[in-house]
Amino acid sequence: MSIPLKANHILPKIELLSEIKRLKKQKNAIILAHYYQDPEIQDLADFVGDSLDLSRKAAATEADVIVFCGVRFMAEVAKILSPEKTVILPDMDAGCSLEDSCPPEEFAKFREKYPEHLCLTYINCSAAVKALSDIIVTSSNAEHILNQLPKDQKIIMAPDRHLGAYLAKKTGRDMIFWPGSCIVHERFSEKELIKLKAEHPTAPVTAHPECPDHILRHADHVGSTSSILKFVLENPSEKFLVATEPGIMHQMQKSAPHKIFIGAPGADGRCNCNQCPYMALNTLEKLYNCLDRLSPEIEVDEITRIKALAPLNKMLEMSPTMASNRPPKSGRSF
Ligand code: 13P
Ligand code: SF4
């Protein structure tokens, strides 16, 4: 019989891991994890990936239960794409500052002001905002999708103004931005990054496009978490400066133990302030409990789901192939 764990109830780690594996089998569940999750969760997962990889896996799985180790908008995408499945999230408070920055009522009014604009919305938003959008994008497919649209198409890019500005600069497109941002990627300090670059002059800088331009302009490579991983594994350099959430370093160190990865610093010169506080809410204990109780469960009302499904399907149709996006050698896959 399963033991429900309270916050102060510590089951020995080894037992916790074997109990999670037993429950997973018993409930025909699959564990999907984002690269920003705790290393122990990444190691336990059946599949680790970026937002696009995880959406594709959620749409394709034959499991009855999807345990989503990531943040709420990611688990919601799994439910929108696979409504017949039970989708659970270890901690329902695992939100995202980008989602919080874009309330659907205000976004609907914003859209009305630009009737001729096509709305490309970053996947980091609520199901209700997706339902108001034309095409969903992630950091790994946004440029590829933009390049398929007519050059004179007017575009709204929401809710990440930094990703929007990066894409506008890269593609020369005319875009209007929603003023949202990621609290994690905004904390990197340009001054400290310049100092770090001077200390490690041969180390390429790789950065996530959620970083502001004053960080991106120092980067040798800009891309999604999968793309960052691919870059450090394929690039011959031995040392890298990494401007994204430090959870990604786990896969880097596993796949290339001989290389050195240094996290880009925050204003205090260290990088631990750049841990995503929402991703960090998921723990092994909460993972065990949610599998045991099949709760907290993600629910999306059917009207919103159908409306949000159309721009998500559009994204899947217009995305590059899975193989071109994935790192050559990374975390576990099922
Ligand atoms: P990726 O799609 O690159 O994994 O980004 C997700 C995210 O939330 C980054 O902050
Ligand atoms: Fe949201 Fe930023 Fe956390 Fe990604 S890192 S989930 S964008 S708050």
The string of pLDDT tens digits covering residues 55-113 is 999 999 999 999 999 999 999 999 999 999 999 999 999 999 999 999 999 999 999 99
Please tell me if the CB atom of residue 319 comes closer than 6 angstroms to any atom of ligand 2.
Answer: no
Angstrom distance (rounded) from CA 147 to CA 270: 37
Please tell me if the CB atom of residue 124 comes closer than 6 angstroms to any atom of ligand 1.
Answer: yes
Q: For 21-40, what is the mean pLDDT?
A: 97
| pLDDT of the residue at 333 | 41
Yes or no: is domain 190-275 CATH 3.40.50.10800?
yes
Q: Band of the pLDDT at 321, cuts 50, 70, 90?
A: confident
Helix axes 302-318, 51-60, angle to 10 degrees: 110
Please tell me if the CB atom of residue 139 comes closer than 6 angstroms to any atom of ligand 1.
Answer: yes
Q: Which-ligand-closest: CA of 275? A: 2
| DSSP 3-state of 138 | coil
Closest to 143 (Cα-Cα) out of 180, 160, 174, 168: 168
| pLDDT of the residue at 324 | 61
C-alpha 234 – ligand 2 centre gap (Å): 26
When the pLDDT of each residue in the chain is averaged and rounded to a whole number, the result is: 93
Where in the chain do CATH 3.40.50.10800 domains reside?
Answer: 13-94+280-294, 98-177, 190-275
Instruction: Give the pLDDT confidence of 131-157 residue by residue, as tens digits.
Output: 999 999 999 999 999 999 999 999 999
Please tell me if the CB atom of residue 184 comes closer than 6 angstroms to any atom of ligand 2.
Answer: yes
The Cβ of residue 226 has, within 10 Å, a number of other Cβ atoms equal to 26
Tell me whether residue 191 is exposed, middle or buried, using C-beta atoms within 10 angstroms of its C-beta: 0 to 12, 13 to 18, 19 or more: exposed
CATH superfamily label, 13-94+280-294: NadA-like (3.40.50.10800)
pLDDT at 314 over 60: yes
pLDDT at 253 over 60: yes
pLDDT at 294 over 70: yes
C-alpha 68 – ligand 2 centre gap (Å): 15
Q: Band of the pLDDT at 334, cuts 50, 70, 90?
A: very low
Fold for 98-177, please state it: Rossmann fold (3.40.50)
Ligand 2 test: best mutation among 36, 101, 138, 182, most atoms within 8 Å of CB? Answer: 182
Q: Which-ligand-closest: CA of 281? A: 2
| pLDDT of the residue at 4 | 60
Average the pLDDT over each of 96-105, 297-306, 321-330 and give the range with the smallest value: 321-330
Structure tokens at 249: 């370093």
Angstrom distance (rounded) from CA 175 to CA 117: 9
| pLDDT of the residue at 331 | 45
Instruction: Give the pLDDT confidence of 159-210 residue by residue, as tens digits.
Output: 999 999 999 999 999 899 999 999 999 999 999 999 999 999 999 999 999 9
Angstrom distance (rounded) from CA 211 to CA 222: 9
Ligand 1 test: best mutation among 124, 141, 251, 322, most atoms within 8 Å of CB? Answer: 124
Q: For 22-36, what is the mean pLDDT?
A: 98
Please tell me if the CB atom of residue 138 comes closer than 6 angstroms to any atom of ligand 1.
Answer: yes
Angstrom distance (rounded) from CA 180 to CA 281: 22
Please tell me if the CB atom of residue 210 comes closer than 6 angstroms to any atom of ligand 1.
Answer: yes
pTM of the predicted protein model: 0.93
Atom nearest to 96 CA in ligand 1: 8
pLDDT at 1 over 60: no
Ligand 2 test: best mutation among 89, 208, 210, most atoms within 8 Å of CB? Answer: 210
| pLDDT of the residue at 8 | 47
Please report where in the chains the tokens 């990066």 appear, as a residue: 166
Ligand 1 test: best mutation among 208, 231, 245, most atoms within 8 Å of CB? Answer: 208
Task: Provide the residue type at 304 as one letter.
Answer: T
C-alpha 51 – ligand 1 centre gap (Å): 6
Angstrom distance (rounded) from CA 163 to CA 181: 9
Phi and psi angles of residue 241, each rounded to the nearest 5 degrees, phi first: -105, 130
Please tell me if the CB atom of residue 71 comes closer than 6 angstroms to any atom of ligand 2.
Answer: yes
